[in-house]
Each structure stands twice: as C-alpha cells, then as structure tokens.
Amino acid sequence: MTKYIVVSGGVISGVGKGIIASSAGTLLKSLGLRVTAIKIDPYLNIDAGLMSPLDHGEVFVLNDGGEVDLDLGNYERFLDVELSRINNITTGKVYQQVIEQERRGDYLGKTVQVVPHITDAIQNWVEQVAQRPIDESGEKPDICIIELGGTVGDIESAPFVEAMRQFQFRVGHENFCLIHVSLVPVVGSVGEQKTKPTQMSVRDLRGAGLSPDMVACRSTKPLDASVRSKISMFCHVAPEQVFTVHDVSSVYHVPVLLRDHGAMGFFRRRLSLDTIRVPEDRLLAGQQLWNQWLELTKSYGHLFETVTIAIVGKYTDLHDSYISVYKALEHASLAYRRKLEIKWIEASNLEPDTMKSDPVKYHESWQSLCGSNGILVPGGFGSRGIEGMVMAAKWAREHKVPYLGICLGMHIAIIEYARHVCGMRDAFSAEMDPDCKTPVVIYMPEISKTHMGATMRLGLRSTLFQPGTENTSIVRRLHGGAASVEERHRHRYEINPEMVATFEEKGLRFVGRDESGKRMEIVEMQGHPFFVGCQYHPEYLTRPLKPHPLFRGLIMASMGELKL
C-alpha cells in the first residue's frame, strides 16, 4: 500500500513547506523508493494560469499543459519526476467536480455538503494521484507526499484539513505521517528563540483532529536543547520528533540537514519502510543519487569564481516570479563550478522616461546591465517594460554579450533586430499594439480571443532542428546533435511567418521549428558568440544534477568558454 506524508504549515505562509516536502522526497528516493507529490492550494481559482506573478509567484507549466503552483516545480527538480495537472488540487477544481456531479444527478437527491461530499472528493483525488505511475515501469508510487497549502487555521483550508483528518483512518496509522512546519522566531537583542507561535499552531492543528508526527522548526539558527525540549513537551511529541531546519547556504543542503538529524530513521520506523520490497537496481540508483547530491552540496561551498547574469524582466520585485529561471541558471553555473550572481533589472528602469523621473535608478540599472557577463530576458505578458527589454537586447547584440531570450525574450530579440538591422522602424508585437504597422509578432490563429484561462499553446511539444544545422547551430550542438527536442510551451503569440525570409536574409537563423515548419521555435544570430531566442520555456525541465543545455550554453558563453 502507498505511504502518505502530509506536510502542513503554521504561524506564517511561505515558511518552507515546499522545500521540506521536496527534501523529504529526495531522502526517500535515495532509498530506491518511487515518490510522487501533490500540492493542495486552497484558493478558488481552477489553476494558477491567470494569477499575477507578483501576487503568487511563477506559474509552472507541466508536460500536459497544466498551469500550476511553483511548488510543483520544486517537486520535479528535487525528485526528477514529471507530474501532471492532477497533482495540483485547488478548491476551485474540487468544487467544480462536485458541482458537476450534482448537476448530473450523481448524488441521487441528497443534500450536497462540505462534509462528506467535498472531503470525500479530496480524499478520492489524493488516492487517484497516488495510483498514477511516475516512470516507465508503470508501477504505482511507494510514497505520496502531500503539501497542504496555506496556514493551519485559515478558513479556506479547513475542508482540506478535515479531509486529511478522515484520510488518516482511511489508509491506516502505519501509512500516514504528518509533518508540521512551524516558525521559531528569534526575538530581542539576546537572540531568544520563541516557542509560543509553534505551540499555538500545533494546538490549532490538534484541535482540527490531526497530531503531528514530526515538528519541523524553521529558524535562523539551530534550536537550543532547552527550546527543543519545550516544543516537545507542549506539542505532544517526543524530543526526537522535533527537527531543526535552520537557515543553510542553499536549499540543496536541506535534505542533508534532515538526514543528519535522523529523518531517515524516523521515516523508516514511522512508516515501516523496510516492509517495502525494493529491487537491487533501484537501491543502487538511490545510493548513486545520494552520492551525487552530497557532491553537489559540497561543491556549493567551494565556489570562488563568479559569473554574473542580468535578468531583465517585468516582475523582478518578486524573485519567485522567475524561480525556475533562477534555478536553471544556478544548476548550470554549479555544473561549471561558478558562483552565480544575479543582477535583477526592472526593464522599465532602462527606458528614457526613468532617466527623467528617477535618474539614479536609471543609471544603476544600466550599470548593472553593462557590468554583466550575460543577459537573459524571460517570459511575461503586457506592454510595461518592453522598450527597456528591447534596449537590453540591442546592447547584447552590439557588444557581443551572450543573450538568451525565452518566449517574450525571443519576441524582444526579433523586434530589436527588425528595427535596427532590417530597417523596420515600426516593428512591434501585436500583443502590445494590435494595430501596429509592422507586426513581427502576431496572435496565433487557433487561440481563443474571448477566454483566457487554459487557452494558450501549453505543454510539451516537439521542436525540429532544420536541415543543414547539424554542424552550424549552437543550440543543436548543445543538445548533442539531436534531430528534435521536446519542450514545454506557454504562449499566445508567435513570430510572423511572413517575415521569416527577410530576417534570415539579414543574418538571423531559425534553426528550430514546429512540426508544421511554419511556427518558429529557436532563433540564433550569426557572428555572435551566443545570441539565442526560444519560444518554449527550457527552465521548466532543468534539474540540479542535469542542467538544461540552453542554460549551460549561456553560462559557458558568459564565462568565455563556449567551444563546440
């Protein structure tokens, strides 16, 4: 039977549930176990697709086109698995399902209520995901980790907490483990660690019918022995069930921290993991994974040479808006033993209007851009900051600075090239100006103009490298000479196919196209060390131990060592 680990949070949101859930999964996978994960988001949205990055962070896209919470990106990166849209449960999805069943008459005239109908739907959904294979073997996972979004005590999360209370009896005590993540703040000049918030949080949790098996205490420093003892006493757990998860140099150190504190032994005992038969090949693969993970964490603390990348975007006030881009750059820089330094540049600060309204910010932004080894323009929507991004692309092109444009960043590169190389002074995107005279970026004809939710070109799609690019395309060589790649997409607009011939006459090369040959996927500029744009989002497929080729290329080029 599948074992379930539920991760709840208390005191504040953003306490680190996702990283702890992912780290626990990494530990269990190192034992050769198959691990899947679920993120429960108690908001009413059907999915994260229409949520502002500045409000909720990045929208992560899965192979099946699911637009989900960024924590599923953490799960995929840590566990090296490919999840689906059903791995993200929202209040909106659950209520939509129950209401549709009620309209069909499935409840046979009964009064439909939160308990039992909503809570039953949640439990059924969890069990359905836990039965879904996550690899080519076709076998169901051994472990399902469930992150309960929000904070214990929130009104909107109450149905999910109640569902988990019932679920523990459905699957049995030996198959259900609850980790409660709480904050232990350090207060005052003497640095006293306060346990009262954790006590109150666990009290709320127990009042809802759930008792934690492990209390993971987030703090800026390791817990004092007396603090740990106090939490044990007042939270009704043994001292060895109180774990310190203090600040460390990187998230990759958290699995090591948990293991050093005895988490592996705790999971073995609590969930009777030794009763699960694991083939020898998976045991060896798990051990190899852990050895590689240890090597990764050891190298992280011994990085002395730096590579600086400027991220020129629209949502830089909240770095989580670009968390997958950041992680992809970090993975690539670690692979080449470089310390990554990010210059976060708000694109609008590069524009002439900012020079008038805030000259200090304008000059600081340009200084950061000019001092970077490479430039990356990520995806985004809307017109704000577009001209600043165009200026960044122009700087990269003219000064031979490595450039990677992702989705919108590719459109930006085309707009800049059209204006300043091809002489199309009015070149623009139909996204920003539907009535522009020279639309080099157009609305895709098959996309709905009346509905926005889940109507983009989404999910995993093929990109075919064009004939004659075997030895000339940087991107193809980074992919080992492959004839095609499978990448995740999220866009409504595309490069105007009627203008492709003009661009190629002027030195651009569209080395990758979709299966029809009419939709541009990858563009490179001749005579430049690394000037690449891609319509897809390569950041969604990066892994700590397997950096994505495009990010490896950008980092190598920024180091001055791209030799293919």
Asked about 534 being catalytic, the answer comes back as no
Q: Mutual orientation of helices 71-79 and 323-335 as an angle, nearest 10°?
A: 20
- In sequence order, what are the residues at sequence separation of 6 or more whose Cβ sits closer than 8 angstroms to the Cβ of residue 332? 542, 547, 548, 551, 552, 554, 555
Neighbours of 357 (CB within 10 A): 11
Catalytic residue among 117, 253, 411, 537: 537
SS (H, E, C) 69-108: CCHHHHHHHHHCCCCCHHHEEEHHHHHHHHHHHHHHCCCC
CA distance to 340, 394, 411, 505, 536, per residue, from 374 (Å)? 11, 13, 18, 26, 20
Catalytic residue among 67, 431, 539, 548: 539
Paired strand residues for 342:
309
- Distance spanning both ends of the chain, measured CA to CA: 49
Does residue 116 have a cis bond before it (omega within 30 degrees)?
Answer: yes
Paired strand residues for 183:
218
Asked about 539 being catalytic, the answer comes back as yes
**What are 467's two structure tokens?**
């004939």
Element (DSSP H or E) covering residue 263: helix 263-271
Catalytic residue among 144, 217, 235, 407: 407
Q: Is 435 exposed, middle or buried (CB count within 10 Å of its CB: 0-12, 13-18, 19+)?
A: exposed
- Cα-trace Rg, the chain: 25
What's the rounded Cα separation, in Å, for the pair 36 and 29? 10
Asked about 399 being catalytic, the answer comes back as no
What's the rounded Cα separation, in Å, for the pair 93 and 97? 6
Angle of CA points 360, 364, 370, to nearest 5° = 145
What's the rounded Cα separation, in Å, for the pair 211 and 164? 11
What's the rounded Cα separation, in Å, for the pair 21 and 255? 10
Residues annotated as catalytic (active site), given as ranges: 407, 537, 539
